[in-house]
């Protein structure tokens, strides 16, 4: 990830929540969000299959890559690797940050979720780029 992309990554992240919208319609929505200034996208579709997630990720990259907007995959190291996403976001019980860093390499973004000061202090000892605090809604 280049320095300019890294600098802007944190400004405005769109976290996907497609629900029952057709994929093409949802991708059009994301294209509109790109035009209006999102700086990163996190692909977060909790109940989707591996195959669907890889397809979704690759189609997102077609939209995002020309604008140097990073794609972060939520929870699924396998999907991040298969799609060559810019990074991975791991929840507290979604796998090892150390293993993810080993598999993804030093140039990829890794983030994790925290919900306490203790988790924040522990996160300072991991090879991550950012933390997300608190739950937005129940999954």
* 10 pLDDT higher than 60: yes
Question: What pLDDT, in 10s, does the model give residues 18-44?
Answer: 988 999 999 999 999 999 999 999 999
CA angle at 133 for the pair 82 and 62, rounded to the nearest 5°: 30
Closest C-alpha to 48, from 79, 24, 86: 79
Tokens at 85, concatenated:
């996403």
pLDDT, position 3 = 53
pLDDT band of residue 7 (cuts 50, 70, 90) is low
pLDDT tens column, 51-102: 999 999 999 999 999 999 999 999 999 999 999 999 999 987 778 899 999 9
d(CA 113, CA 93): 9
pLDDT, position 114: 86
């Amino acid at each position: 990830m280049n320095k300019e992309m890294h600098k802007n990554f944190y400004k405005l992240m769109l976290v996907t929540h497609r629900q029952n919208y057709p994929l093409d319609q949802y991708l059009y929505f994301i294209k509109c969000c790109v035009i209006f200034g999102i700086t990163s996208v996190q692909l977060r579709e909790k109940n989707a299959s591996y195959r669907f997630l890889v397809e979704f990720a690759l189609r997102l990259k077609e939209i995002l890559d020309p604008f140097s907007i990073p794609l972060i995959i939520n929870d699924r190291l396998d999907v991040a690797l298969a799609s060559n996403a810019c990074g991975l976001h791991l929840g507290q019980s979604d796998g090892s940050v150390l293993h993810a860093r080993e598999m993804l390499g030093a140039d990829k973004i890794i983030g994790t979720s925290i919900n306490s000061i203790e988790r924040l202090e522990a996160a300072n000892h991991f090879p991550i780029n950012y933390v997300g605090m608190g739950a937005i809604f129940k999954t």
